[in-house]
Structure 1
Amino acid sequence: MSDKPAFVEFLQCTQATDRQGKPFVAQYRVTGADALKAERYMSQRFGLPPLKFYCCVWDSMPYFYRDKKTDLGYSFVIASEETPINQRELWLDIKFFYINVSLDTEEI
């Protein structure tokens, strides 16, 4: 996410050579107070569906996006840290949500 909003904090980018496709995985995070803005940004920019609450986390489920300019395919996941908070209106009480963006370096 080279043009990420300022409220999205970049954490690290590593290559998972032990995984199929040997993807680069960029990790980001946003505060609970900014999670709704992040969800809207990801939806508008990449088509990511709304997060849903499952058991003990808010999760987007894996989502695939192909860049129209480069034809590269990216996998996205947004998830909260483990939480009992199951109402969107209370997201500001969740410390962090994490965004993982993966790009395979080998064909699967």
Structure 2
Amino acid sequence: MRVVSFSVPTWFPPRTGEKARRAEVQLTDQESAVFLCLATGASNAELAVELQLSVSTVKFHVHNIRAKLGGISRLQACLLAALARESAGSQEPGRPGADPLRRVPAARRG
């Protein structure tokens, strides 16, 4: 299993009462696929059809994504996904800038 690292922008508002947020979030391949599709604002049922998953699997991944991003709302997750897609799409080879979705190897389970 590979893990995708996503950087939450520092300007993104934290939850009420939250002081600090992890700057980087580790998403699995499945979670990152669901995350990027959230940018369209599609429902769980629409995401399930697009990704060829069951609705319950999509719900599971959306719940995990929101939790990993600090318990943000679905709307906030959609906004972050749209920003990630825009940043990834505007990146050209050879241009400076951090890739918002950077693949990192997963830790081996023992």
TM-score using structure 2 length? 0.25
Q: Is the helix fraction higher in 1 or 2? A: 2
Q: Is the strand fraction higher in 1 or 2? A: 1
TM-score using structure 1 length? 0.25
Q: Which has the higher contact order (CA 8 A, sep 6+)?
A: 2
